[in-house]
Amino acid sequence: MSLTIGVPREVIAGEKRVATVPEVVEKLIKLGFKVAVESGAGDAANCSDETYSAAGAKIIQGAANLWAASDIVFKVGVPTTEEVGLLRQGGTVIGFIWPAQNPELMQQLSAKKATVLAIDSLPRMLSRAQKMDALTSQAGVAGYRAVIEAANAFGRFFNGQITAAGKVPPAKVFIAGAGVAGLAAIGTAAGLGAIVRANDTRAEVADQVVSLGGEFVKVEYEEEGSGGGGYAKVMSEGFQQAQREMYAKQAKEVDIIITTALIPGKPAPKLITAEMVKSMKPGSVIVDMAAERGGNCELTVPGEAVVKHGVTIVGYTDLTSRLAKQSSTLYATNLFRLTEELCKTKDGIIDVNMDDDAIRGLTVIKNGEVTWPPPAPKPVAAPPAAKAAAPVQKKSGGHGKASAPASAKSTAIMFGVAALLFWFIGSGAPPAFLAHFTVFVLACFVGYMVVWNVTPALHTPLMSVTNAISSIIAIGALVQLGPDGWIRWMAVAALALTAVNMFGGFAVTQRMLQMFHK
């Protein structure tokens, strides 16, 4: 019997997102599930009850009735104590849980014999897990919205303009942290025409910053900043001091600062001090995306936008909810992809396979048993080391040293044999043939050297490109189809081989193009 997926209305104040949208409801039903939605659950995300009904969902009045009717509950916000009380005994919850920060919630869910999949615990280093990575999709929305909030609070254009009334310089934006949210902010600010600078403790993101139109500002202190799971690590005091000096310099120069530095489970590091805020130009803006965990700025007030020392400090904690429709659609798609992994048989029944690394990482409670934290990921077997090539010994009986690819003596012998062969063929041939034969030999030599020096990975594209050369050979062969017997048969052979090469090249090219078609 197929299971019912329930989507309740979010109860956290200010949360406008919904765990699934009508477009995804249709896909869940195709997997064999029934879908129930609490009345009004999607109103704040522009998803009406009517659209859910049209997609095939059942609309249920009241949270208690929705939870009672659901085998699996899709959530956005962390479940409250009241919601856990409504959960069926042995039910399943999928959504944001943050098990390290909510030990009491974990115990409550365990007492319900629940199975809980925390989307925030997804092993993000697995490439196939990217389609389920809700943290990334929501961070991208938040980074975009941070720039929109900054533009709303800023008193000028982002892009530079020259008008009849005067010249307007472009805004200067500094992004502290180039993770997913930071990169989204960089791309958005650059797209609006601002001069964008960014910094991150992970040096490897510098190329990504530049590719999005920003300038990477390096801290003059050598230390590796990459942490586990795609996050940055906590840096040393020496690095932090050098970083603060760089931030202080940027604060005096830029118009907008957007901070994104946050490591899950830890308080937000203080990057922007009160002194830095005082040094900023009047009318400047700071958007603190880490406000929920205390903020990267000392003067941030979580949930509010305040003005301190002439600088607007935006500390909103609901940036994703301010784009509720977009963030809900992305989140719903993440949960659908996870559901696909749980229900590969498409019969409306989920299988929490603990042998699957992605599912094992997500599962923090199974049938009431706490399974968090997950074991360390299985080490990937290293590829077998290539066997060392045996040294090539000189045939002349040297001292065990590797010989050159071709000695001068062997080259001389090869050219001597070629010259004798050329003389033998040309001694009895007419002058016209000898001239054509010389060109033919030289063409073969040059062509061989060109093809031989091409990287093997490019041989297939090279075959496709050389169809034009093959056409010239075909024309030459057609010209030689004369009355003379052996010349005619040589031309026929050349024409046949060229045709194979030409048609084969076109076939390979067609197959390569088909690889890029959906």
Model confidence pLDDT, tens digit, residues 36-61: 999 999 999 999 999 999 999 999 99
Strands 34-38 and 92-95: unpaired
The top-scoring range by mean pLDDT among 93-107, 211-225, 237-251 is 93-107
Among the ranges given (102-116, 173-187, 263-277), the one the predictor scored with the smallest mean pLDDT: 263-277
Contacts of 416 (CB under 8 A, 6+ apart): none
Q: Is the pLDDT of residue 207 over 90?
A: yes
pLDDT at 421 (0 to 100): 77
Give pLDDT, residue 392.
Answer: 45
Torsion sign across C-alpha atoms 415, 417, 418, 422:
positive
Q: What are 360's two structure tokens?
A: 């094992």
Residue 438 has pLDDT above 80, yes or no: no
Percent of the chain, pLDDT > 70? 84
**Type of residue at 235:** M
Query: Which of 9-13, 414-418, 449-453 has the largest mean confidence?
Result: 9-13
Q: Give the position of tokens 């956290």.
A: 12
- More reliable by pLDDT, 420 or 314: 314
Peptide bond into 377 cis (omega under 30): no
Q: Containing H/E element for 216?
A: strand 215-216
pLDDT band at residue 419 using 50, 70 and 90 as cut-offs: confident
Q: Read out DSSP for 1-45?
A: ---EEEEPPP-STT----S--HHHHHHHHHTT-EEEEETTTTGGG
Rounded CA-CA distance 370/201 in Å is 34
Using CA atoms, how far apart are residues 21 and 25, in angstroms rounded to an integer? 6
Tokens of 97: 């849980």
| φ/ψ bin of 397: left (φ > 0), alpha (ψ from -120 to 50), beta (otherwise) | left
pLDDT band at 480 (very low <50, low <70, confident <90, very high): low
Distance CA 439, CA 452 (A): 20
Tokens describing residue 289: 């995306």
Q: What integer best gives the mean pLDDT of the chain?
A: 87
Sequence-distant contacts of 356-363: CB under 8 A, at least 24 apart: 357/123, 357/126, 358/122, 358/123, 358/126, 358/128, 358/129, 358/132, 359/117, 361/121, 361/122, 361/123, 362/117, 362/118, 362/119, 362/121, 362/122, 362/132, 362/338, 363/115, 363/116, 363/117
Q: Is the pLDDT of residue 399 over 70?
A: no
For 259-300, the pLDDT digits (tens) are 999 887 789 999 999 999 999 999 999 999 999 999 999 999
Question: Contacts from 510-518 at CB under 8 Å and sequence distance 24+?
Answer: 512/460, 512/461, 512/464
**Sign of the alpha-carbon torsion through 347, 350, 351, 353:** positive
More confident residue, 465 or 515: 515
Distance CA 339, CA 332 (A): 10
Interstrand relation of 115-118 and 58-60 (parallel, antiparallel or unpaired):
unpaired
Query: Going by C-beta distance under 8 Å and a sequence separation of 6 or more, which residues neighbour residue 514?
Result: none
Count of residues making up the chain: 518
Pairing of strands 256-259, 363-366: unpaired
Which letter does DSSP use for residue 61 in this model?
A: S
Predicted pLDDT of residue 518:
53
Going by pLDDT thresholds of 50, 70 and 90, the confidence category of residue 395 is very low
The band of 389, judged by pLDDT with boundaries at 50, 70 and 90, is very low
Q: Which of 88, 89, 84, 74 is nearest to 107 (CA)?
A: 84
Q: How many angstroms separate the CA atoms of 274 and 255, rounded?
A: 16
Rounded to whole angstroms, the Cα distance separating 198 from 139 reads: 17
Residue 513 to residue 273: CA distance in whole angstroms: 55
pTM of the model: 0.73
Task: Give CA separation, 296 vs 101, 149, 441, 501, in Å.
Answer: 20, 17, 73, 64
Q: Which residue has the higher pLDDT, 175 or 379?
A: 175
* Rounded Cα–Cα distance for residues 186 and 174 (Å): 9
Q: In 10 A of CB 407, how many CB atoms?
A: 13
Please name which of 205, 259, 209 lies closest in space to residue 227, comparing C-alpha atoms: 205
